[in-house]
Structure 1
Amino acid sequence: MEKRVEIERSIIKKYKKPIWHRFIGACKDYQLVQAGDVIAVCISGGKDSFLLAKCMQHLARHSDVPFEVKFLCMDPGYRAENRALIEENAEKMGIPLHIFETDIFDSVANVTQSPCYLCARMRRGHLYKNAQALGCNKIALGHHFDDVIETALMSMIWGAELKTMLPKLHSTNYPGMELIRPLYLVREADILAWKRYNDLRFLQCACRFTEQDESEASAGHGARGQTKELVRLLRQMNPKADINIFHSLHNANLNMLPGYTLDGKLHSFLDEYDS
């Protein structure tokens, strides 16, 4: 059987419940895909974005809701071998990539304060701009369930704020554009299992300065890696800890919070305390 077909079948057969059903669940629960959408699936070269590409491709072929997908990949200055790996995986998986080039890596090479933050903002802007040029009204990113809860914990521990990634949001700089995250309910462990089952190798990080394939990646580095380890320890205490964190983000009880921010305005429980 052709490799592309094997990969597609594994998503809707072997990993139907942990991947396909949760992907479809997020699309329905958060109303991510509407009739007439033209969605740019943004591919970084990692496992998450390539899985998302295959899920969106299959959905577009078989959905009762007519929409179109395009596959957008930005080369911010990859080494030749990493660019080649992305192109090889796209061909193997039957994904028609539209690749455009930027000099983002050169632009942030000498930045010492928050280079990753600056790089991410620049990448997002280029993706919106090029997606819009292709006639798209949405971009789809490969963030998953673990990213959501890790971001919430990182915001609390390092940012003194409770917030996380939303399943979708409107762009403030590109009117009419929207960002969606269809893997919002899919666990990273299941994505890794899918990758191993199909004997696939992807880039671990898109950054020229840290890029490596997943077989070489070491866990526990940086705030994200440390938070992953924290979640692992919490699961040992309570196997449902990550699920409860996720659900708590959907069930915030504002009556029992001393303060919250809405539309940029800070509110305190004292505002209505004596009323």
Structure 2
Amino acid sequence: MHPVTDAQKPDARHERQKLQKRLQREAGQAIADFAMIEAGDKIMCCLSGGKDSYAMLDILLSLQKKAPVRFEVIAVNLDQKQPGFPQHVLPQYLQDLGIECHIIERDTYSVVKDKIPAGKTTCGLCSRLRRGILYAFAEANGVTKIALGHHRDDLLETLFLNMFYGGKLKSMAPLLRSDDGRNTVIRPLAYCREKDLERFAELRDYPVIPCNLCGSQKNLQRQVIKDMFKVWDEEHPGRLETMFSALCNVEPSHLADPQLYNFADNSRKAAPRSVAPNGAAKKGVTSVSGKAAEEFGRLDVLNL
């Protein structure tokens, strides 16, 4: 007989089910708030082998069974030829799930190592190369939405990275169309906390694959922000939640960007927001996400 693992014990199963419902509820709400998924969409779930992308695929497949609209989900992994990358892990995992999957093989690892001096951060070039390859694949295969596994902490970290190091008030958009309009990126986990995803990955026992490029780099700027957030979360519970609410409730007239707000005639230069975080409508603003998105939100609250 095989020994029972911690993830298979009754208490762990109950915790996993409870956590899965919460993550599905948060993802469903994000999908509704930003109208991420529409009828007939072909969603390309980008799998890196990390905890977040595994959880995203899991959640999308669960929502697909109960969704008010029909959409297709395919899984795609980009094999960047990193040394020691276990090439059998993802194909076997996806085969067991029984969904359409594609493994794209491109040696971006050698390009990054050749172009980036030793000790310098590789993330920028690596992500640009990866994005170009995934965009091209999506276009060639009729994909309408590219799903990435960024979560709430990623959005907050990016906001602070841009403030501290880039001089911009900028984060990650839950839904983003490429400059040429040919690709649309969605981030269904935008409302999900990283610590919940970490625990869920443990309980689901995902075959997580570490990144040999950036995963071993020390003193990354993002890690500095992560460490700062960890201290805040421990010493000031609820601060990160308040910060995320602020990210979703922007007042252009109380910032200092004349490209965003016309201070001369006291009017916005950009379209007003339509939704507030976690489905709470902003005062005086109604949702424009459409009936399908409303149904996603209703499904999320009642059925999961």
Give the TM-score category using the shorter length. Answer: 0.7 to 0.9
Out of 250, 253, 269, the residue aligned to residue 252 of structure 1 is: 250
Out of 92, 106, 110, the residue aligned to residue 106 of structure 1 is: 110
**Matching residue of 1:126:** 133
Asked whether the equivalents of residues 39 and 138 of structure 1 are also in contact (C-alpha less than 8 Å), the reply is yes
Count of matched residue positions in the alignment of Structure 1 and Structure 2: 253
SS of alignment partner, residue 208 of structure 2: coil
* 1:107-146 deviation digits (Å, cap 9, x = unpaired): 2222237642122111111111112222111100000011
Asked whether the equivalents of residues 52 and 183 of structure 1 are also in contact (C-alpha less than 8 Å), the reply is yes
Letter in 1 for 2:230: R
- Within 1, Cα distance between the matches of 2:192 and 2:215? 24
> Following superposition of structure 1 onto structure 2, how do residues 77-92 of structure 1 map, counting pairs within 5 Å?
77-92=81-96
Report which structure shows greater RCO (CA 8 Å, sep ≥6). Answer: 2
Identity of aligned residues (%): 31
**Matching residue of 1:3:** none
TM-score after normalising by structure 1: 0.82
> Following superposition of structure 1 onto structure 2, how do residues 117-196 of structure 1 map, counting pairs within 5 Å?
117-173=124-180, 175-196=181-202
**Matching residue of 1:228:** 226
Letter in 2 for 1:100: I
Asked whether the equivalents of residues 18 and 190 of structure 1 are also in contact (C-alpha less than 8 Å), the reply is no
Out of 73, 79, 104, the residue aligned to residue 75 of structure 1 is: 79
SS of alignment partner, residue 113 of structure 2: coil
Distance apart, 1:104 and its partner CA: 1.3
Runs of 5+ unmatched residues, structure 1: 1-5, 213-217
**Matching residue of 2:295:** none
Letter in 2 for 1:165: M
Label 1:210 to 1:259 Cα distance change in 2 as closer, same or farther (>3 A). closer
Label 1:58 to 1:18 Cα distance change in 2 as closer, same or farther (>3 A). closer
Asked whether the equivalents of residues 54 and 206 of structure 2 are also in contact (C-alpha less than 8 Å), the reply is no
Asked whether the equivalents of residues 37 and 138 of structure 1 are also in contact (C-alpha less than 8 Å), the reply is yes
SS of alignment partner, residue 88 of structure 2: helix
Asked whether the equivalents of residues 42 and 140 of structure 1 are also in contact (C-alpha less than 8 Å), the reply is yes
Moved more, 53-62 or 183-192: 53-62
Runs of 5+ unmatched residues, structure 2: 1-7, 267-304
Asked whether the equivalents of residues 149 and 187 of structure 2 are also in contact (C-alpha less than 8 Å), the reply is yes
> Following superposition of structure 1 onto structure 2, how do residues 252-271 of structure 1 map, counting pairs within 5 Å?
252-259=250-257, 261-262=259-260, 271=264
RMSD across aligned C-alpha pairs, in angstroms? Answer: 2.7
TM-score after normalising by structure 2: 0.75
Out of 219, 235, 238, the residue aligned to residue 236 of structure 2 is: 238
- Within 1, Cα distance between the matches of 2:175 and 2:15? 23
Letter in 2 for 1:194: F
Letter in 1 for 2:159: A
- Within 1, Cα distance between the matches of 2:14 and 2:58? 11
- Within 2, Cα distance between the matches of 1:115 and 1:182? 26
Distance apart, 1:93 and its partner CA: 4.8
**Matching residue of 2:210:** 204
* 1:219-267 deviation digits (Å, cap 9, x = unpaired): x7411111111111222342111111111112222222233544xxxx6
Asked whether the equivalents of residues 76 and 101 of structure 1 are also in contact (C-alpha less than 8 Å), the reply is yes
Distance apart, 1:95 and its partner CA: 4.7
Out of 45, 49, 54, the residue aligned to residue 58 of structure 2 is: 54
- Within 1, Cα distance between the matches of 2:65 and 2:139? 22
